[in-house]
Amino acid sequence: MDRIKLTKDIKDILNILNAHGKGYIVGGYVRDYLLGLIPKDCDFCTDIDYSKLKDIFKDYSPKEIGKAFGIIQIVYKGKSYEIAKLRRDVTFTSFRNIAEVEFINDIYEDLKRRDFTVNAIAYNGSNLIYLSQVEIDDIKNRVLRFVGNGKKRIEEDPLRILRGIRIAGEKKLLILEETKQEIEECKNEIKRVSIERVQDEFFKMLKGENSSNSFKSLYDLGVFEELFPKTYKNIKLNEILEDLDKIDSLFLLEESLVLKLVVIFNKSKDELNYLKLDNKSKKSILNIIENLKKIKNISSKYEIKKMIMTIGLEDFKNILKIENLRDDISLIKEKFNEIIMNNEPIFLKELAISGKDILNLGIKDGKKIKELLEKSLDIVLKNPELNQKNYLLKLIEEEKI
């Protein structure tokens, strides 16, 4: 277990660090490799003084991203990496507001400040470095445990509750009973974390792999209830878990967030206000929730087009995706696909005539022009083959619209 396969770029950075001092790979990269997963982001730490790091990596666009914590970011062959000076967190004010850090040269002391044992393992290019056999055993047994006193780790930063649940869910780790107890006893602390940080971690959880595992732990440990009490009372857990699994199996993780938020909050949309969603996303989610039931009452292509006109094409597609998780809507999907395949007009901009065409007929009233365009579109929605400029203008000229 002592050897980790590194990419050439990561080896290069590690070699540069080791040429000037001691360099280590830490955290998720080491954890994921040892768990048999494909590592993603790679972070480094070093005993090299922060003031020297920028000079050593001067050719790699060094950027200060946390001077107080001794962290720089470099760009090596087009990819960003973080390098941190080894440190000890000396005092905390409240909830990740670290009042003082002490820069050190001891990797073991640095590992002591880590959140979970599976994250408290470093690699220097030749050997693994860890505090005790516990870290290695927890990797082998695939379990999640706080480093040291769990309540203290949570007190330092309550967001570790969500982070731990997410990591355990994504990596399919078993949360130890003692760790569960520590989370349950301190779960109310999560409400003191800024909503921005909570949302970031919650969204990572939903967009990550095995999101149903994470959500079940979030629910079972009472953390979801702390964050969203109304939603907690309204949801049916097994249905949510089944829907999350289906979404993960059918759609790309990156596009799954909106679908999952709709599934979770569709019976208590008011609590969406707790989240700091951008206006576009919030409007889209509320739009989908409000129109979910309506789709069961439509049957014709005309009704489908009218609904798309009202809520937009993308939101309609997402409604189809969500309804398809539980109900057979194959007939609606078939008609929708026909509309798309045949490029049947839905919006005014797809109409064969424009306001200028009507204006050229001598009709000057703006309201009248708008009314005629809308009536023309309604004709075309029912009979797309009639979307012909001459035909529609003739109807208008003959006052048949």
Q: What CATH number is attached to the domain comprising 189?
A: 1.10.3090.10
pLDDT digits (tens, 9 = 90+) for 154-181: 999 999 999 999 999 999 999 999 999 9
Both 162 and 133 in one domain: the answer is no
Q: Which residues contact 35 (CB under 8 A, 6 or more apart)?
A: 118, 139, 142, 171
Contacting residues for 316 by C-beta, under 8 A, at least 6 apart: 304, 307, 308, 336
Residues 150 and 117 grouped into a single domain: no
Are 91 and 225 contained in the same domain?
no
Residue 281 resides in a domain: no
More confident residue, 13 or 66: 13
Of 197, 227, 250, the domain-final residue: 250
Report yes or no on 341 lying in a domain. no
Identify whether residues 97 and 8 lie together within a single domain.
yes
- Residues 105, 75 share a domain: yes
Pairing of strands 63-66, 71-76: antiparallel
Which of 116, 126, 125, 42 minimizes the C-alpha distance to 84?
42
Is a pLDDT exceeding 90 seen at residue 69?
Answer: no
pLDDT of residue 67: 82
Q: Which CATH number does the domain housing residue 121 bear?
A: 3.30.460.10
User: 56 and 131, same structural domain?
Assistant: yes
> Does residue 218 lie in a domain region?
yes
Answer yes or no: do 2 and 124 share one domain. Answer: yes
Residue 244 lies in a domain: yes
Q: Which residue has the tokens 């109807």?
A: 395
Regarding whether 149 and 107 lie in a shared domain, the answer is no
Question: What local confidence, expressed as pLDDT, does residue 197 receive?
Answer: 96
262 within some domain: no
Per-residue model confidence (pLDDT) at position 335: 96
Range of the domain at 72: 1-141
Query: Which of the listed residues 250, 273, 291 is the one where a domain comes to its end?
Result: 250
Q: Quick one: 119 and 147 in the same domain?
A: no
Q: Give the end of a domain, one of 110, 141, 172.
A: 141
- How many structural domains is the chain composed of? 3
Local confidence band at 380 (pLDDT 50, 70, 90 cut-offs): very high
User: Is the pLDDT at 84 greater than 60, yes or no?
Assistant: yes
pLDDT at 252: 85
- Are both 101 and 196 inside the same structural domain? no
Check whether 255 has a pLDDT greater than 60. yes
Q: Say yes or no: 14 and 61 in one domain.
A: yes
Rounded Cα–Cα distance for residues 158 and 179 (Å)? 14
Q: Is the pLDDT at 97 greater than 60, yes or no?
A: no
Q: How many CB atoms lie within 10 A of CB 335?
A: 17
Q: Residue 99's pLDDT is what? A: 56
Residue 237 inside a domain? The answer is yes
Per-residue pLDDT, 326 = 83
At 95 the pLDDT is: 53
What pLDDT sits at residue 98?
56
Residue 288 lies in a domain: no
Average pLDDT for 222-244: 96
Residues 222 and 220: their CA atoms lie apart, in Å, by 5
10 and 130 assigned to the same domain: yes
